[in-house]
Amino acid sequence: MTEQKPISEVAEKQPSTHAELPALGVEAAGDLCTIIRQSIGRAVIGQKEVIDQILICLLAAGHVLVEGVPGLGKTLLARALAKTFCGQFARIQFTPDLMPTDITGPVLYDMKKERFTVRRGPVFCHLLLADEINRAPAKTQAALLEVMQEQQVSIEGHAMDVPAPFMTIATQNPVEQEGTYPLPEAQIDRFLLKIHIDYPSSEEEALLVRSVTGNRIGDVLDVSSVTASLDPKQVLQLQQLASDTAVDEAVHRYAIRLVRATREWPGVHLGAGPRGGIALIRAGRANALMAGRDFVTPDDLKQMAIPVLRHRIVLAPELELEGQTADSVLAQLVEQVEAPRQ
């Protein structure tokens, strides 16, 4: 079987204009993260916490599930992030009739060459936006989740690596559930973070409306104000720096206590598994690097505990009837689990 470049390129390519830079230090990495945040903020108005958490997920080489109603700028955010590191971007609108090959790419028979060829699908990119992932059936969801876990696609027994770095931003609507296929707990656990994106403030919404309606035709997403600050190789360098960030043994034990506490907390039907502790350390390291530090503090874990663990626990029905949410339960848990002294 021979690979063939697709006739219509789904990913949006942007050539790198950066020369090779020397190895980054921790302080320089923190400064670079600040530049990236500011660059994204020129296109995405407000949502500073969401921008920070998605950048943390990129540094931790993870994938993120974003939950929010339509029209809050999820696609714009993904495009802006891809442009900051000259990454290839692709978007898939998940629908009930979407097939696994629509993601990974089909195998076609070339009549002229009398052989089968592989048409690479949209998953072969640096940053993939899986819009409304819960609208596709389980088999299609599984095809994407396999790529997220293995960083490769298997087509007709042939393994094909996706570009590095590779990150998936999956979205789902928390309100409209008709015609959806909820992600099973075992699959949703593979997302490093689950982020809630909410409505902007009054001032931010006014600025957003003026920006979109000012001298523009239609409502085309505009990322022209976003500048490229690095290239994919430098993103890999940042990810390596994050993985090298020091974690004291006391901080390790604190992460494990937080995760184990979810399994014994009153009103929690299902607590987080060991992957929760791994994700908490990874996110804490990325958060420390964003701050320009080469070590993780207990505050890093406290800051990341809710987005890391909110999708890894299941509340008992009685707590939900009382109006409790995973976020409120985790906030109480973080408050009460003893943290090591810094």
Instruction: State the Cα–Cα distance between residues 320 and 326, nearest whole angstrom.
Output: 9
Task: Report the DSSP pairing between strands 89-93 and 107-110.
Answer: unpaired
| Torsions phi, psi for 97 (to 5 deg) | -95, 10
* pLDDT score recorded for residue 74: 84
Q: Distance of CA 340 to CAs 168, 212, 255, Å? A: 34, 47, 10
* pLDDT score recorded for residue 177: 65
* pLDDT score recorded for residue 215: 62
Task: Report the DSSP pairing between strands 268-270 and 314-315.
Answer: antiparallel
**Residues 104/123, Cβ–Cβ less than 8 Å:** yes
Q: For every residue of 171-185, which 3-state class applies, written as one string?
A: EECCCCCCCCCCCCH
Helix 26-41, helix 274-290: angle, nearest 10: 90
Residue 270 corresponds to which tokens in the numbers above?
């299902």
* pLDDT score recorded for residue 216: 63
CA 263 to chain centre: 25
Q: Coil, strand or helix: which one is 163?
A: coil
* pLDDT score recorded for residue 202: 86
* pLDDT score recorded for residue 107: 76
Q: Coil, strand or helix: which one is 102?
A: helix
* pLDDT score recorded for residue 259: 95
**Residues 135/179, Cβ–Cβ less than 8 Å:** yes
Summarised one tens digit per residue, pLDDT across range 116-132 is: 777 888 899 999 999 98
Summarised one tens digit per residue, pLDDT across range 145-162 is: 888 888 888 777 778 888
**Residues 331/63, Cβ–Cβ less than 8 Å:** no
* pLDDT score recorded for residue 217: 58
Instruction: State the Cα–Cα distance between residues 191 and 193, nearest whole angstrom.
Output: 6
Domains and their CATH numbers in the chain:
24-97+124-209 (3.40.50.300), 245-336 (1.10.8.80)
* pLDDT score recorded for residue 220: 62
* pLDDT score recorded for residue 218: 53
Question: Which residues in the chain come in under a pLDDT of 70?
Answer: 1-23, 176-179, 214-221, 342
**Residues 59/326, Cβ–Cβ less than 8 Å:** no
